Amino acid sequence: MGVKIDPLKCTACMACELACGYHRDDAFALLSSCIVVYRTRDKKDYFGVILKEEEDLVIARPEGLEVKRIGAVEEGGGGGDASAKPMLLREACDLCEDRDDGPLCKQVCPVDAVYLD
């Protein structure tokens, strides 16, 4: 079971990214999040969410959800627009194992785009 994102419900609000950053750092920060909104292609209105798991990258593109094996993704890259810290250098999702209420990203998504599957 892992975190999944419905790209057509997503509004690129970054609440999940902020929540995950808090889960990592006990402070508000975005650099450590393993769930990241890619949002640099504004002029095309193209946005989505990318999540790093132990072995996979889960990429929620508008055209659909895609799961890629990390070995098959370029070293240091990993898609998305996490320019300051590439996805592959971030910690993998641990499903917020230390929280009784489960994944914080899921709890704060205002449009229920984050789900477990």
For binding to ligand SF4 (CB under 6 A), which residues are involved?
A: 3, 5, 10-16, 19-20, 23, 34-35, 37, 49, 51, 93-96, 103-105, 109, 111, 113-114
Closer to ligand SF4 by CB, 53 or 73: give it: 53
Within 10 A of 56 (CB to CB), how many other CB atoms are there?
A: 19
Least separation in angstroms between CB 8 and ligand SF4: 10
Within 10 A of 18 (CB to CB), how many other CB atoms are there?
A: 19
The contact set with other proteins (CB under 8 A) reads: 8, 11-15, 18-19, 22, 25-31, 39-47, 61-63, 81, 83-84, 101, 104, 107-108, 110-111
Buried b (16+ CB within 10 A) or exposed e, 83-104: eeebbbebeebebbeeeeeebb
